[in-house]
Amino acid sequence: MVKIKVDKETCIGCNLCMSICPDVFGTDKDGKSEVLEDAKMEVTNDVIEAKNSCPVKAIIIEE
């Protein structure tokens, strides 16, 4: 099973991932990106684009 995660210590809260893929990424109470609880754990083109666009490489995809 695929797991999509955001490294909270690395994330700078730019929300670029959320603008690219709002069905998977949201913002937590600290302004950092997070994977939404009801998000489907599927590696779509939008998830890959969000991962590749992250300026600090905080998005992790584990297979």
Q: Are 58 and 7 in contact (CB under 8 A)?
A: yes
Q: Does this model's pTM top 0.85?
A: yes
Give the number of domains in the chain: 1
**What local confidence, expressed as pLDDT, does residue 40 receive?**
87
| pLDDT tens-place string over residues 36-48 | 999 988 999 999 9
| pLDDT tens-place string over residues 6-25 | 999 999 999 999 999 999 99
CATH number of the domain that residue 28 is part of: 3.30.70.20
- How far apart (Å, rounded) are the C-alpha atoms in residues 30 and 17? 16
| Average model confidence (pLDDT) across the chain | 96
Percent of the chain at pLDDT above 90?
Answer: 90
- Domain span at residue 10 reads 3-62
